[in-house]
Amino acid sequence: MAFAVSGFFAGFAGALYVYLIQLVSPNETASSITILVIAMATIGGVGTIIGPAIAAIVIHVVTELLHVSGTVYDQIAVGLALMLFVLFLPQGIAGLLQR
């Protein structure tokens, strides 16, 4: 049941995204987007709702601010944050909030 519900919401979000950008290309499924989604879940805390939501907002703001510079600093920052959270705070932001 959980798999079906999560699949429904993922498909619905994908349909809304395609409607928003009105173009589907291989660039939309690039590995950097997948890494961002994994980073949001890991930094936020796997198994919670509020942690990844907070992490998604923070990561999106940081990547947009660093993306303006025109280099790959946004990817470096996300990778560094991901490594630090895995090493020092494995429960993520949600684990920090629960303490």
Looking at the whole model, is its pTM more than 0.75? Answer: no
Domain ranges, ordered by start, for the chain: 26-98
The number of residues in the chain equals 99
| Residue 51 identity | G
Specify the pLDDT at position 33. 79
CA distances from 16 to 55, 64, 72, 96 (A): 21, 21, 28, 32
State how far the Cα of 71 lies from the Cα of 73, in Å rounded to an integer. Answer: 6
Q: Specify whether the backbone of 70 is left (phi greater than 0), alpha (psi in -120 to 50) or beta.
A: left
In tens, the pLDDT along 14-58 reads 899 889 888 887 776 777 778 888 888 899 988 888 889 999 998
Confidence of residue 69 (pLDDT cuts 50, 70, 90): confident
For the segment 73-99, what is each residue's pLDDT rounded down to a tens digit?
Answer: 888 888 898 899 889 988 888 888 777
pLDDT for the residue numbered 23: 81
Q: Tell me which residue of 97, 88, 4 sits closest to 49, measured CA to CA.
A: 97
The total of other beta-carbon atoms located within 10 Å of residue 51's CB is: 24
